[in-house]
Structure 1
Amino acid sequence: MIIYPAIDIIDGKCVRLQQGSYSDVTVFGDNPVDMARKWESFGARYLHVVDLDGARSGKSENAEIIMQIAKTLKIPVQTGGGIRNIETIETYLSGGLGRVILGTSAVNNREMLIEALKEYKDKIAVGIDAKDGKVAIHGWEKTSDFTAVEFAREIESLGTKTIIYTDISRDGMLKGPNLQAMKEMAENVALNVIASGGVSNLTDIVDLKQTGVSGVIVGKALYTGNVNLKEAIEAI
């Protein structure tokens, strides 16, 4: 299982939200590139970067910073947030990103998802963000009609290989991940499932490994010091 340190960006700064609320923002650093270097130096094998401005607006607001992170680090970087067309995917992948995450666009525009998967294959991941079991879109501010598992099965049939599965109710709350939801997802699809949301300590990470997920994104717990990245990597 891979641990993905998370860097969420608003207005060029490293931030964390609680339950996806843009009205509840904590700033943890002014320089995302320096933060990325820090996590790499601690032994991270992969980095997860989200353009929160982009997730809300539908445009890649922090693309320059994100591509600077990718060019600076030796480890691969995946990114999502506001990626709504093939041109943006191409810009990111040609700019050095290892993987691009489609969220709202994968829900609303199957044709684009199919085209992206055909062209870029395993460099495309799909973010499935669940609110009360239903897929949320537009920066988590709206909910679709799909359950998370139904949607995962559909995109798996289209050729998706990796999903980032977030339980919004747990995100940024440090109350532990939704282990049952992660286990259900891992058992129902043959995808690489990267769990996200709620990790509060090392025990949560070890417990998530038992659910069958292939990776875990750790955000707020790293910034508060609840999780030591070096210790977590050694533990798993």
Structure 2
Amino acid sequence: MKVIPAIDLLDGQVVRLHKGSYTEVTVYADSPLITATEFENAGFDHIHIVDLNGAKEGAFVNLPHIQEVINTLGISVQTGGGIRTFEDVKALIDAGLTKVICSSMAIKNEADFVKAVKTYPENMILGMDLKDGKIAYSGWLKTAEEDTYSFLSRMIAEGLQEVLCTDISKDGTLSGPNIELYRQLKRDFPDIRLIASGGVSNIDDLIELNASNIDAVVVGKAYYEGHITLEQMKSLTA
């Protein structure tokens, strides 16, 4: 299993939201570069950065901060937030992003998302953020009508290889991940690369996810709140 440290950016600061709410924000650092450097120094070569402004506003508000991390550290970055069109995907990949996570675009502009999956199959990640069992988008403020499994099946048929699944009810809560959800997804879609996200509270959660054959997990608040160390996270990184 690959453990991926997370940085959520809001107005250039490193933050975490509670259950996706923009009214419940905790600021952890003023410099994403300093935080990313801590991850790189601990031996991580790939990190997860979300532009929360972008997710809500549909524009790459924090891209300069992300590019500073890439250009300074030479680290691999997957990012999401504000991606609405195929041209947005192309611009991010051209800017040095390794992987691009799309949620809103996949629902609201499926044609461009499918085009991106076919053009950049190794670089595209479906951000399947679940709220009450439905895929949420637009900064988790709206939910899609189509059944989650139906949508995911169609995207896999188009060539999708990787999914980042977040149980929004768990995100930022430190209450433990929805492991049964990830196990079920892995059973039903064994060929997809599955990244778990949301709720990780300690090293035991990572051990259980690893034992469940989950491909990767994103860790954010548990680290920032001191519930898990970078050394522990690195010890379970394949």
Unaligned runs of 5+ residues in structure 2 are none
Q: Secondary structure at 1:145's aligned position in 2? A: coil
TM-score (norm. length: structure 1): 0.96
Question: Which residue matches 1:23?
Answer: 23
Q: Distance in 1 between matches of 2:149 and 2:209?
A: 18
* Distance apart, 1:73 and its partner CA: 2.3
1:38 correspondence with 2:38: yes
Q: CA RMSD in A?
A: 1.2
Larger helix proportion of the pair: 1
TM-score (norm. length: structure 2): 0.95
* Distance apart, 1:232 and its partner CA: 2.4
Which digits, 9 at most, give the CA deviation of each residue in 1:147-191, with x for residues without a partner?
Answer: 433322221111111110000000000000001101111111121
Question: Which residue matches 2:183?
Answer: 183
Q: List aligned pairs for 1:207-218, cutoff 5 A.
A: 207-218=208-219
* Distance apart, 1:137 and its partner CA: 1.0
Q: Secondary structure at 2:120's aligned position in 1? A: helix
Q: How many percent identity over aligned positions?
A: 39
Q: Distance in 2 between matches of 1:125 and 1:59?
A: 18
Unaligned runs of 5+ residues in structure 1 are none
Kindly tell me the number of residue pairs found equivalent between the two proteins.
236
Q: Secondary structure at 1:209's aligned position in 2? A: helix
1:111 correspondence with 2:116: no
Q: List aligned pairs for 1:77-116, cutoff 5 A.
A: 77-116=77-116
Contact kept in structure 2, 1:43 and 1:230, CA below 8 Å: no
Q: Distance in 2 between matches of 1:70 and 1:150?
A: 36
Structure 2 counterpart of 1:94, one-letter code: D
Contact kept in structure 2, 1:195 and 1:217, CA below 8 Å: yes
Contact kept in structure 2, 1:17 and 1:26, CA below 8 Å: yes
Q: Secondary structure at 1:127's aligned position in 2? A: strand
Q: Secondary structure at 1:48's aligned position in 2? A: strand
* Distance apart, 1:106 and its partner CA: 0.6
